[in-house]
Amino acid sequence: MSRSVSGRSRARLRLLAGVAAFMAGSACANQALPPGGPPDVDSPVIVKVTPEHEAIISRPRDVELRFDEVISESPRGGARDLRELVFISPRSGQPRVSWGRTRLTIRPSKGWKPNTVYSIQIKPGIQDLRNNGIDTTIRLVFSTGGPIPRTQVTGVAFDWPAGKGLSGAVIEAIAPDSTIYQAVADSAGRYELRYLPPGPYLMRAFGDRNSSGELDPLELWDTVRVTLTERASAEFHAFGHDTVGLRIAGVEVLDSNRVLKVTFDKPFSPTQAFPLDSVRLFRPDSSRLFVRQVQTSAEKLLADSLAKKAATDSIARAAAAKGPKIDSTPAMRARADSIQRVRRQDSLANAAATARRARLEAERAARARGVRYVPPDTTPPPKMSRPPVYTSIFVTLDSTLRWQTAYRLEVRGVRSLSEVQKAPSRGFTTARQPKVDSTARRDTVARRDTTRRDTTRRDSAAVAPVRRDTLGAPRPRRR
């Protein structure tokens, strides 16, 4: 009897264990996204940082950030892992980042050094399990000995060939003892490097395309020297430094085969001049065509702008010569000014109402997706202090090119941004002569025949009528 009871007990225990295991598995499967309740649209919040911001302590084992909810191991914004979001300054090897649900621990691969001020910057990208991300940069500074200096270097890193800020550029300040302080720029290229010891620095900015944290070949970069006391500013114009000169990437025939748009594979030097004898164009028989004018993209933009302004001024002068269309009394002018002010106010009010409607629609769409609405950044982009660079020139010829004919173009003495001088050449073939539409041709011929018949009829009507005798000799009409 006891054996049967114990057997039934064991069976009941096995059943209960199976049910418990099933429930545990279901709970684990739904741990990330529990059902029910209002949608979570709030980003993770840091509730504790160890060591505290601006603390002066002995060397810690780790820097720990605790959040109010579980964060994801997969960051947003294209980063492969959380390590790519973390920058430790001064640099001491690759940072080691460990994930622990609501906890993030950071330490350098070579450990913390004594008597050093460390600055930690975490790029936007940390998110929770519902993809609600932190859209601001997290900054933390502490010292392992000694005071924390109140210094900073600010500025912008530009992608010079593109003419805009270098998004996510890595900014380095290299001290005379080879210590490297690092920061990362925002999406517009703006950066802020703080808590550096005063002194001279060789500063460098580069586009970290592979997120290695180090300058690699073919990446854009630029260097600037600064001497830091309390505040300094440095602007970078990064471009690809190489020893390979420019080559002609393409030749486009414009303006009825009289203008050539020559595009290089990289920008040429902003101080580059193109005299007429620097551009040579050869026919298939090696005879040379003469060039009338060579314009850079900047010169052509200026010439087109001046021509457009001259045409507008000419139209305005012609309209002014006809006289005013309305009464020019003071009362009429005051009424016109009042109408213009009202129209401007109505236009501004309509623009503001349109912006409010767009914002409400964006917020409604974000709530429908269960995410937090992030207003767009309306900060104007930074402007470069250097002139922009271009990749194209426009060559005007003395004579038109023949249809469907091969030519060879050579540009001598062209210099790259690295001041490498080359004489690239490229062959090209003009297009086929466009066909004339047969319908248009028939219409033209018909109009020409109609005009000829009308002219003949008018000429015959202008001749006075005469009578002829039986022999065919004309004689004057009797009155």
Single-letter code of the amino acid located at 198: P
How far is 407 from 397, CA to CA, in rounded Å?
Answer: 13
CA neighbor of 427 nearest in space, from 444, 408, 403, 412: 408
How would DSSP label each residue in 323-363? --SS--SHHHHHHHHHHHHHHHHHHHHHHHHHHHHHHHHHH
Do 158 and 291 have their domain in common?
Answer: no
The pLDDT assigned to 207 comes to: 93
Work out whether the CA dihedral 414, 417, 419, 422 comes out positive or negative. negative
pLDDT, mean of each 10-residue run, the chain (479 residues): 47 48 43 54 88 88 92 85 90 87 91 90 89 88 91 95 93 94 92 94 92 85 95 95 92 93 95 93 93 93 90 82 66 82 87 85 76 74 92 94 95 94 95 74 63 59 49 52
Residue with tokens 């936007």: 124
CATH of the domain at 85: 2.60.40.3710
Q: Give the whole-angstrom CA distance, residue 337 versus residue 462.
A: 60
Count of domains in the chain? 3
Of the three residues 147, 175, 203, the one that is the final residue of a domain is 147
Is residue 409 within 8 Å of 280, Cβ to Cβ? Answer: yes
Question: Do residues 157 and 137 both lie within one domain?
Answer: no
Same structural domain, 78 and 217: no
DSSP 407: E
Do 282 and 425 share a domain, yes or no? Answer: yes
Q: Strand, coil or helix: what is 270?
A: coil
In a domain, 282, yes or no: yes
- CATH code, domain with 231: 2.60.40.10
Local structure of 258: helix, strand or coil: coil
292 and 403 share a domain?
yes
**Are 112 and 257 in a shared domain?**
no
- Asked, for residue 205, whether it belongs to a domain, the answer is yes
Give the range of the structural domain holding residue 404, as residue numbers without chain letter.
Answer: 248-311+387-429
Tokens 């004594």, located at residue:
114
CA distance 137 to 134: 8
Q: Which pTM does this prediction carry?
A: 0.72
Measured CA to CA, the distance from residue 273 to residue 374 in angstroms comes to: 47
Q: Pairing relation of β-strands 63-67 and 259-264?
A: unpaired
In a domain, 176, yes or no: yes
Instruction: Please indicate, yes or no, whether residues 404 and 303 belong to a single structural domain of this protein.
Output: yes
Instruction: List b or e across 375-410, with b for residues whose CB sees 16 or more CB atoms inside 10 angstroms.
Output: eeeeeeebebeeeebbbbbbbebeeebeeeeebebe
Report yes or no on 436 lying in a domain: no
In this prediction, residue 197 carries a pLDDT of: 93
CA 387 – CA 179 distance, rounded (Å) = 33
Alpha carbons 161 and 168: distance in angstroms, whole number: 16
Q: Is residue 339 part of a domain?
A: no
Count Cα neighbours of 243 within 13 Å in the Cβ-side half-sphere: 0
Identify any residues that bridge with 437 across adjacent strands, giving them in sequence order. none
Q: Tell me, yes or no, whether 132 and 71 share the same domain.
A: yes
Per-residue pLDDT at 379: 80
CA dist., res. 454 & res. 172, Å (int): 84
Measured CA to CA, the distance from residue 407 to residue 281 in angstroms comes to 7
Q: Please indicate, yes or no, whether residues 141 and 159 belong to a single structural domain of this protein.
A: no
Same domain, 126 and 113: yes
Position 37 scores a pLDDT of 54
Which alpha helices (DSSP H) does 2-134 contain, by range? 2-29
Among candidate residues 429, 446, 462, the one where a domain is terminated: 429
| Residues 138 and 159 both lie in one domain | no
Does residue 252 fall inside a structural domain? yes
In a domain, 412, yes or no: yes
Has residue 221 been placed in a domain? yes
- Asked which of 429, 446, 461 is the last residue of a domain, the reply is 429
Do 160 and 305 have their domain in common?
no
